[in-house]
């Protein structure tokens, strides 16, 4: 059985999701700056792993957004 | 659905709709729903920002791949040895015409060359041999004259070093050495 959330519950959940998304986006920003610094300094050892880590962060964010959409469909 | 219905028109002061002024009764604002929608849209925007950061990250991967594919940089004659006197600098471009660099003659037989772009925001650095430094006038940064290492101001990375070769009375640039420290 699919669970339906009240408006208060949905508001609390969206706050939680927004906090997690913000933390991940800040992590990605830090990753981008560090990678750019390494690239300009000629250190190419971290460039691909950092790209993959950023992709994982995007997947997490997209998953959370998908959860928000699914939550709205169940209203 | 009584519960949902009751929640539809919550005023900012929390009083029931009947106690609100007439204008609010006619045009009620559903604040919880308004808050929910604004946070949801901000979340969407943040996920879009996340996508932009990932695209930027892979743009660096592609640029790095293209840089690695370019391979060895060309050999370029900078100047004849007698053109540069000891303690003086000579400006040249390497490897591309817009990549300005500086050649310094530090002794009778010793030369050193660095990129002229400051590693902070790419302003042109100025050699100051009397003070033993390259000086960046944009943000008062400075680099050591012999190593190119940052000594003051905002730059954190050293100036890229141009590898040199002296042969047949001329100085040649052979490559660019990017450095982290």
Query: Has residue B6 got a pLDDT over 60?
Result: no
Contact assessment for residue B9 and residue B28, using Cβ atoms and an 8 Å cutoff: yes
Beta bridge partners of A44: none
Per residue in B123-148, pLDDT tens? 999 999 889 999 999 999 999 999 99
Segment B41-51 mean pLDDT:
97
pLDDT at B1: 43
Longest dimension (CA), chain A: 55
Q: Do A41 and B157 touch (CB under 8 A)?
A: yes
Looking at residue B2, its pLDDT comes to: 46
Which pLDDT band, with edges at 50, 70 and 90, does B160 fall under? very high
pLDDT of residue A29: 98
Residue of B15, B13, B17 lying closest to B28 (CA atoms) = B17
Find chain A residues with C-beta within 8 A of B53's C-beta. Answer: 25, 28-29, 31-32, 54, 57-58
> Does A11 sit within 8 Å of B36, measured CB to CB?
yes
Quick one: pLDDT at residue B69?
A: 92
CB contact under 8 A, A42 and B180: yes
- Please give the Cα distance from A22 to B79 (Å, whole number): 54
Left (φ > 0), alpha (ψ -120 to 50) or beta: where does B177 sit?
beta
The per-residue pLDDT for A1 is: 53
Cα gap B85→B90, rounded to integer Å: 9
Query: Does residue A7 surpass a pLDDT of 90?
Result: no
| pLDDT at residue number B33 | 81
The sign of the CA dihedral A55, A61, A64, A68 is: negative
Task: Report how far residue B60's alpha carbon sits from residue B163's, in angstroms, rounded to the nearest whole number.
Answer: 25
Q: How much is the pLDDT for A2? A: 61
Task: Output the pLDDT for position B109.
Answer: 85
Could you tell me how many CB contacts below 8 A there are between chain A and chain B? 106
> Nearest Cβ partner of A44 from B33, B50, B64?
B64
Quick one: average pLDDT of B13-28? 84
The token pair that represents B109 in the structure block? 């037989």
Contact criterion met (CB below 8 Å) for A54 and B53? yes
Mean pLDDT of chain B: 90
pLDDT at residue B35, rounded to an integer: 86
pLDDT at B4 > cutoff 80: no
d(CA B146, CA A25): 41
How far is B119 from chain A, CA to nearest CA, in Å? Answer: 9
Which of B36, B50, B57 is closest, CB to CB, to A10?
B36
User: CB distance B36–A54 less than 8 Å?
Assistant: no
Report pLDDT digits (tens) over A25-74. Answer: 999 999 999 999 999 999 999 999 999 999 999 999 999 999 999 988 87
pLDDT at B5: 46
Question: What number is the ipTM of this complex?
Answer: 0.93
């Amino acid at each position: 059985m699919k669970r339906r959330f009240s408006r208060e519950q949905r508001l609390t959940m969206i706050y939680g999701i927004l906090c997690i998304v913000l933390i991940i986006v800040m992590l990605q920003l830090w990753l981008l700056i560090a990678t750019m610094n390494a690239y300009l300094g000629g250190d190419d050892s971290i460039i691909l792993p950092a790209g993959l880590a950023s992709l994982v962060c995007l997947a997490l964010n997209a998953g959370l957004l998908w959860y928000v959409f699914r939550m709205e469909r169940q209203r | 659905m009584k519960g949902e219905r009751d929640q539809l028109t919550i005023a900012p002061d929390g009083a029931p709709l009947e106690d609100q002024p007439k204008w609010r009764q006619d045009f009620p604002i559903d604040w919880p729903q308004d808050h929910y929608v604004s946070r949801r849209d901000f979340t969407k925007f943040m996920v879009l920002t996340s996508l932009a950061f990932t695209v930027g990250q892979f743009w660096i991967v592609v640029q790095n791949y293209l840089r690695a594919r370019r391979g060895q940089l060309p050999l370029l004659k900078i100047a004849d040895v007698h053109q540069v006197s000891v303690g003086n600098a000579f400006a040249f471009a390497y490897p591309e015409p817009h990549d300005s660099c500086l050649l310094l003659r530090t002794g009778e037989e010793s030369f050193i060359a660095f990129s002229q772009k400051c590693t902070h925001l790419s302003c042109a650095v100025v050699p100051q041999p009397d003070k033993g430094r390259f000086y960046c006038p944009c943000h008062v940064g400075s680099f050591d004259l012999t190593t190119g290492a940052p000594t003051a101001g905002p730059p954190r990375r050293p100036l890229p070093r141009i590898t040199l070769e002296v042969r047949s009375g001329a100085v040649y640039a052979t490559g660019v050495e990017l450095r982290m420290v």
